[in-house]
Amino acid sequence: MNLPMNDRELKALVALLDDEDYEVLTHVEERIISYGNPIIPHLELAWEKSFDPNVQRRLEDLIHTLQFESLKARLSKWYDSSERDLTEGMWIIATYQYPDLSLESIQEGLQQIYYDSWLAFKADVHPYDQVRILNSVLFNKLKFRANTKNFHSPANSMINRVLETKRGNPISLCVVYLLVAQRLKMPVYGVNLPSLFILTFKQDDLQFYINAFSRGLIFSAQDIDSYIKQMKLSPDDMFYQPCQNIDIIRRMLRNLTVSFEKLDEFEKADEVKQLLEIVTDGDIFSL
């Protein structure tokens, strides 16, 4: 899309944002939105120069609309790709709250954790000991922790905030853990266990499980049996075996929806449901 021919046109459009005529206002907003994301810096500048709260609010809504449409396009492109890279998927979710966030900043944060882990890592020890080494780096040295005080905070689903605060929910801590573990060439994957996302180390005939929410606690399939029985669920292979990146992204979006609903931020919850529709082909209740 092309930007307005000159500042005069943009100023004229912004000036009309205080018009109370619905048809005029709708036409102006559609005209502004038609220019796409390149117009956002101009709208932000107009917001700074405006002293009218109504105009500022409408500018904020327009900026959010443009950013949200861009986010949906990125997520749709990610969903249609063959790679479905997990780091990129997590970054896309985080741009809902942090639209200026760069993918590179997330990659750099994970790379630093990988480097810290690599310095202590030993590839020639038993997998249990490899996990204990990674646990020591993540939970003792770097002090990643379960965010039990604010379990339903939306920040727990934003990977940039998890990397910054070192606090997260079960799935976000597992994501950080497995992304670092896989950089270390460890066969660690996510497991879609109901109500508690976990990890599995699976290589040849060896398989065990890791609870990142409990500082990397190692446990067995028998422990999952007991958990499933306690939850009164029917056994299912998916409770024991690695899931796909798309499963992680879907679950993260569901968690984020619940977070906003618990804060009574229902408009945001509805927007996250729109994102969920993109990665579930419109059937958000199918899984």
pLDDT, residue 4, reads 45
Task: Map out the domains of the chain as residue ranges.
Answer: 7-80, 86-279
Among candidates 169, 197, 167, which has minimal Cα distance to 256? 169
Q: Is the pTM of this model over 0.95?
A: no
- Which single residue is written with the structure tokens 């809504």? 61
Among candidates 60, 205, 219, which has minimal Cα distance to 131? 219
pLDDT, residue 284, reads 60
Backbone angles phi, psi at 190, to 5 degrees: -80, 150
Provide the token pair at 120: 């202590």
User: Which residues of the chain register pLDDT less than 50?
Assistant: 1, 4-5, 287
Among candidates 179, 51, 160, 26, which has minimal Cα distance to 106? 160
DSSP 18: G
Return the amino acid letter for 269: A
Q: Which residues are bridge partners to 188 per DSSP?
A: 201
Return the amino acid letter for 242: P
pLDDT, residue 14, reads 80
Query: Rounded distance, CA 50 to CA 14, Å?
Result: 9
Q: Which residues are bridge partners to 190 per DSSP?
A: 199
Helices (H), the chain: 7-15, 22-33, 40-49, 53-80, 86-94, 103-120, 127-135, 159-165, 170-183, 221-230, 245-262, 266-279
pLDDT, residue 129, reads 97
Query: Rounded distance, CA 91 to CA 71, Å?
Result: 10
CB 178 within 8 A of CB 264: no
Query: Rounded distance, CA 248 to CA 120, Å?
Result: 28
Give residue 4's Cα distance to chain centre. Answer: 34
